[in-house]
Amino acid sequence: MKNEKAFIFDLDGVIVDTAKYHYLAWKNLANSLGFDFTEEQNEQLKGVSRVKSLEILLGVGKVNLSEEKKEALLKEKNKKYLAYVNTMTSAEILPGVNKLLQFLEANKIKFALGSASKNAPLILEKVGLLKRFYAIVDGNDVTKAKPDPEVFLIGAKKLNTAPENCIVVEDAIAGIQAANSAKMTSIGIGDKTVLSEADYVFESMNEITSDFLQNLIN
Ligand code: BG6
Ligand code: MG
């Protein structure tokens, strides 16, 4: 049904706090290249693709490398990241997520994933959420990264509804911009000043009330 409301969730920083594992893996890589990488610098990598993240990191360290070496580093980084991911359990689902998914299921509202991560299905599987998503759109499905709306437009198609009916939940500015340019309703999770372009902002998913959701889907 083309007029049905549906939700599209970002993964990292919305469903699970994998940002800390991305950071540890990037920092380890920076250190092995002979420079430090702070948590503050890491903010620039949120919502950004793996390849672009490496470019930013190498920029911080002022390091120039061949394409071949960069390929090898991307593989190494992902290997380190996956070592953390493989320890993940449902205990790492962020507060408020289960409550929100249960509300959507009870109200027969479909939801999909719209993530830049190529590891998204594995992470959802590890935390036991994979089967609950109606559709998955991840870093393997897109050619253009957020803030391009491609990831969410593919999501709307898979949900078989118009973009205007979709509600996106995101923690990154690039993701909010992607949702807005897809003409979707955007909900930011995080800092109000950082996510000021979002239609609504909550500090955590835990703050989203049933009344708010009810109004949104009516
Ligand atoms: C995004 C994260 O969701 O996915 C970024 O916010 C990450 O930090 C990107 O670089 C790509 O993830 P992956 O798992 O494919 O390396
Ligand atoms: Mg995110």
Is residue 117 in some structural domain? yes
Both 108 and 210 in one domain: the answer is yes
Tokens of 49: 């693709």
Q: Which residue, of 85, 105, 140, is where some domain finishes?
A: 85
CA distance 57 to 70: 11
Both 154 and 192 in one domain: the answer is yes
Task: Quote the ligand 1 centre to 214 CA distance (angstroms).
Answer: 31
pLDDT by residue, tens only, the chain of 218 residues: 567 999 999 999 999 999 999 999 999 999 999 999 999 999 889 888 999 999 999 999 999 999 999 999 999 999 999 999 999 999 999 999 999 999 999 999 999 999 999 999 999 999 999 999 999 999 999 999 999 999 999 999 999 999 999 999 999 999 999 999 999 999 999 999 999 999 999 999 999 999 999 999 99
Q: Which residue, of 50, 85, 120, is where some domain finishes?
A: 85
Estimate the crossing angle of helix 173-181 against helix 150-159, to 10 degrees.
Answer: 60
Q: Which of 22, 46, 84, 152 to mutate to test the pocket of ligand 1 (most atoms within 8 A of CB)?
A: 22
CA distance 81 to 90: 18
As for how many domains the chain has, the answer is 2
Q: Cβ–Cβ contacts within 10 Å for residue 192, how many? A: 11
Both 117 and 183 in one domain: the answer is yes
Q: Which atom of ligand 1 is nearest to the CA of 53?
A: 10
- Of 203, 190, 195, 202, the residue nearest 174 (C-alpha): 195
For ligand 1, say whether the CB of 118 is within 6 Å of any of its atoms. Answer: yes
- Is 36 among the catalytic positions? no
Q: 62: domain range?
A: 19-85
